[in-house]
Structure formats: structure tokens, C-alpha cells
Amino acid sequence: MASRGGGRGRGRGQLTFNMEAVGIGKGDALPPPTLQPSPLFPPLEFRPVPLPSGEEGEYVLALKQELRGAMRQLPYFIRPAVPKRGTTILIPKRPPKNTEDKEETIQKLETLEKKEEEVTSEEDEEKEEEEEKEEEEEEEYDEEHEEETDYIMSYFDNGEDFGGDSDDNMDEAIY
């Protein structure tokens, strides 16, 4: 009725409790209003205490990492099934890789390797890896595909070397 003025009449801004009881004195500056959620990484006022180091700490740390690796190798680790594509997949010899292509080929190798795991036994997979490694090593320098071009190097020959190799039969005409 008379006292209900939509919050605009007198009595506006009065609280139901005595502010001094919680420690806000009259005339004290209140902290600024919060307009957004607190930052995701609030600034650290105090540096954290250093982690315990020492023989025990190191040993337990090494144990933890070892266990993590070991559990991935156990049969309890179930890998998500990938669509089967038949038995052994031979990895063909690839054209030369640039640094950007290396990423993709490594990823391709990975996915193929994963398929290997699902379908064949571990031994075959290791054999594949060794073959790949050998292939990779051997393929590092391929003379024909030296630069980043679509053409083999003999395309760029300007014919200087032609004809200068034969030491015998110089009388024969060269057409």
C-alpha cells in the first residue's frame, strides 16, 4: 500500500540486519561489484611449496610412470575396435617426403599400425616396424627425386652429359 512503492520510496536501500555486526562500518568503502565470473587462472599471491624430492619421491615417481606404461600393455587394456581390412597390409614404398608430409605419413603409419595390432599378432607388427625403419633409412636420399618438383631430375638435364661418356668409337656419327 503506502509502503510499497516499487523500491523507490523511502526505506530504499535498507538492509534487514545491522551491518556493523558483520564488520562493515558506516562510511567504509565497499569492494567493487563483481560483474563477471572470477578469472580462470587467478593470479597467484604465494608461490607453492616445492615438491618433496629425495630417494623415496623419485622411486615412487618412477614406479608410477612404469605402472602407467605397463598397464597399457596388459590384455586388460581394450583398444577401440577398428574396421578390419583383411590380414597383412603391406606398406608400399612411398614417394619422397617433405617435412610437412612427414606429419601425415607418420599419422598414416600410426593408423595402419593400430590396424595391425587388431588384426595380426604382436610379432608381425614388430616385423613391420623394423621393415619400415629400414625403408625409411634407405629412402632418405633418392637421387631422382631430389628437390620439391614433380619431375625426375633427368627432366632438367640440358644434354651436356650426353655423348661425352663414350670413349671409344669416336668415328661414328652421332645423330
Please give the residue ranges that form the binding site for other proteins (CB under 8 A).
15-18, 21-24, 45-46, 48-49, 51-52, 56-57, 59-61, 63-65, 67-68, 70-72, 74-81, 103, 106, 110, 121-123, 126-127, 129-130, 133-134, 137
CB of 13 to other proteins, least distance (A): 15
CA dist 128 and 130 (Å) reads 5
13 or 75, CB closer to other proteins?
A: 75
Phi, psi of 166 (to 5 degrees): -80, 125
Q: Which of 138, 139, 112 is nearest to 124 (CA)?
A: 112
CB of 17 to other proteins, least distance (A): 3
28 or 161, CB closer to other proteins?
A: 28
Q: Cβ distance 97 to 135 under 8 Å?
A: no
CB of 144 to other proteins, least distance (A): 23
How many CB atoms lie under 10 A from the CB of residue 116?
A: 21
CB of 11 to other proteins, least distance (A): 15
DSSP label at residue 168: S
CA dist 60 and 70 (Å) reads 15
15 or 173, CB closer to other proteins?
A: 15
